[in-house]
Amino acid sequence: MSRRTRLTVFAVAAVGLAVALGIGLGGLPRFGAPASAYARILNTLSVPQRHATDVVSAISFDYRGIDTLFEEFILFAAVAGISILLRPLGDETRRLPEDQAAGRRIPPPSPAVGLLGILLSPLLVVAGLETVTHGQVSPGGGFQGGVVLASALFVVYLATSYSVVERFEPGALIEAADGAGAGGYVAVGILGLLGGAAYLTNVVGLGQPGNLISGGTLPILNAVVGLEVAGGFVLLAKEFLDQTAVIRGGA
């Protein structure tokens, strides 16, 4: 394709995009516009109907729970795809990283980084658990908390070495967490069917609004999503780090 043809194709595509984008942006509500009717309805209904003080969680795990089910499986499929793509091949061998110069060891991270890791990693675990468990009460939830939980392990890697962090990542357990989290969402949805209602209906006792245990299935779904996201992200890091640090290429 010559430069001229490419420019023509680009110009046509750019004009098309500009028109579509212009029409789309023109139809948006203006900045600071009052909330839509749907938003107002959900704002008034989420506490009396679902006993959940965080409306966003009530929407994503209850009113629109099926959307979140698919979102969760997008992440699950992505992590599974990366695990398959980065698996050790037959002609690759595992060897721990070492300095190529004879008799010299890889310098360990500085004590300051180590201290930071010791302080930061338990804090991240607590913050992650707090975010996962308080999804129905305040902003947060399984997705956000799961990533925070996984990042606690990244900090351990930062402060120590790969061989240390490997002990924190038993492969089978992490894969099981990822799968159990994804499957758990489906199982909680079946609870609705068992309760004689539609799939993912909130049939569990709702509790007091504002309490830690409130919102029926919301905290359960948040917990399984947190498990899946934390497992998925740790698995992702493990696969990449394995490939980068340990697995040596074959021919």
Binding site for another protein (CB under 8 A): 54, 56-57, 131, 138-141, 143-144, 147-148, 151, 154, 233, 236-237, 240-241, 243-244, 249
For the bound state, the minimum distance from the C-beta of residue 197 to another protein, rounded and expressed in Å, comes to 26
Nearer to another protein, 106 or 190 (CB): 106
Nearer to another protein, 108 or 250 (CB): 250
For the bound state, the minimum distance from the C-beta of residue 210 to another protein, rounded and expressed in Å, comes to 16
For the bound state, the minimum distance from the C-beta of residue 170 to another protein, rounded and expressed in Å, comes to 20
Nearer to another protein, 8 or 99 (CB): 99
- Strand, helix or coil at 94? strand
Give the C-alpha separation, 134 to 154, whole Å: 23
Give the C-alpha separation, 215 to 200, whole Å: 13
For the bound state, the minimum distance from the C-beta of residue 191 to another protein, rounded and expressed in Å, comes to 24
CA-wise closest residue to 72 among 221, 212, 216, 193: 221
Nearer to another protein, 57 or 201 (CB): 57
CA-wise closest residue to 251 among 69, 14, 90: 90
Give the C-alpha separation, 53 to 209, whole Å: 6
The residue type found at 64 is R
